[in-house]
Amino acid sequence: KAGVTQTPRYLIKTRGQQVTLSCSPISGHRSVSWYQQTPGQGLQFLFEYFSETQRNKGNFPGRFSGRQFSNSRSEMNVSTLELGDSALYLCASSATDSPYEQYFGPGTRLTVT
Amino acid sequence: SQQGEEDPQALSIQEGENATMNCSYKTSINNLQWYRQNSGRGLVHLILIRSNEREKHSGRLRVTLDTSKKSSSLLITASRAADTASYFCATQGAGSYQLTFGKGTKLSVIP
């Protein structure tokens, strides 16, 4: 099976712009979670989707949003980018019969200038 | 927010030696997991230990869990240069699939 894929892998944006990141889970996985990794704050949970519904949300401002499509692919959007949004954004998927084990994609490196 | 701390923050050993990393957490858990990350890439799942387990093995990895002390350790035996990476522990609470990560241990294995 192909692993979790994320596009794009690298992105440079200007402060104030918005960005959309995409994640395709492992085939058959219906749960997708997003995490932000920065040197200062480490790995932090953003949100989790299951069957197109947001099941859980981390402590991030409303500028961070996401959605999941009927094919389980997920997107996250960050509006009005700030310098502090520069980070590695990681997506993970899990199977319904083993929901605790998450498989991560390679991440999208976002740089905000 | 971070669940707890990994100790040490950085560890440098010679190839063939054993590496031990510790992790502490703050709240009750359903399970604790260890992940590896190579140089800013994605996370690779290594091992999951449930709250009612005390020890688990996988290849050269041995994980222990002490829920009374809210701590876990990861032992990598006979380390190789390819084990050079950052290692993170992460916990999940009951009924939640959200992973709460520690700050990680950066392991360097010198050939």
Contacting residues for B28 by C-beta, under 8 A, at least 6 apart: B51, B67, B93, B94
Q: Could you tell me if B106 and B10 are in contact, meaning their C-beta atoms sit under 8 angstroms apart?
A: yes
Closest CA to A20 of A113, A110, A104: A110
A vs B: CB pairs below 8 A: 62
- Nearest chain A residue (CA) to B99: A45
**pLDDT value at position B4?**
63
Q: Is the pLDDT of residue B100 over 60?
A: yes
Q: Could you tell me if A75 and A21 are in contact, meaning their C-beta atoms sit under 8 angstroms apart?
A: yes
Q: Which residues of chain A have a pLDDT value below 70? A: none
- Using the beta-carbon criterion (under 8 Å), do A104 and B45 form an inter-chain contact? yes
A16-19 own/partner pairs: CB under 8 Å, 24+ apart: A16/A80, A16/A81, A17/A81, A18/A77, A18/A78, A18/A79, A18/A80, A18/A81, A19/A77, A19/A78, A19/A81, A19/A110
- Using the beta-carbon criterion (under 8 Å), do B97 and A45 form an inter-chain contact? no
Q: Report the share of chain B in percent with pLDDT over 70.
A: 96
Q: Is the pLDDT of residue B1 over 50?
A: no
Q: Does B92 touch chain A (CB under 8 A)?
A: yes
Q: Does A104 touch chain B (CB under 8 A)?
A: yes
> Any idea of the CA torsion for A48, B43, B28, B93, to the nearest 10 degrees?
20
Angstrom distance (rounded) from CA B106 to CA B98: 23
For B60-99, the pLDDT digits (tens) are 999 999 999 999 999 999 999 999 999 999 999 987 899 9
Contacting residues for A83 by C-beta, under 8 A, at least 6 apart: A15, A112, A113
A96-100 own/partner pairs: CB under 8 Å, 24+ apart: A96/A29, A96/A30, A96/A31, A99/A31, A99/B97, A100/B30, A100/B31, A100/B33, A100/B48, A100/B92, A100/B97
Cross-chain CB nearest to B45 (options A44, A48, A103): A103
Min Cα separation A7/chain B (Å): 13
SS3 assignment, position B94: coil
Angstrom distance (rounded) from CA A5 to CA A9: 9
Angstrom distance (rounded) from CA A35 to CA A58: 9
Q: Does B44 touch chain A (CB under 8 A)?
A: yes
SS3 assignment, position A16: coil
Q: Is the pLDDT of residue B2 over 80?
A: no
Q: Is the pLDDT of residue B8 over 50?
A: yes
Residues of A (26-55) whose Cβ lies below 8 Å from B: 31, 33, 35, 41-45, 48, 55
For B15-56, the pLDDT digits (tens) are 999 999 999 999 999 999 999 999 878 899 999 999 999 999
Angstrom distance (rounded) from CA A74 to CA A52: 9
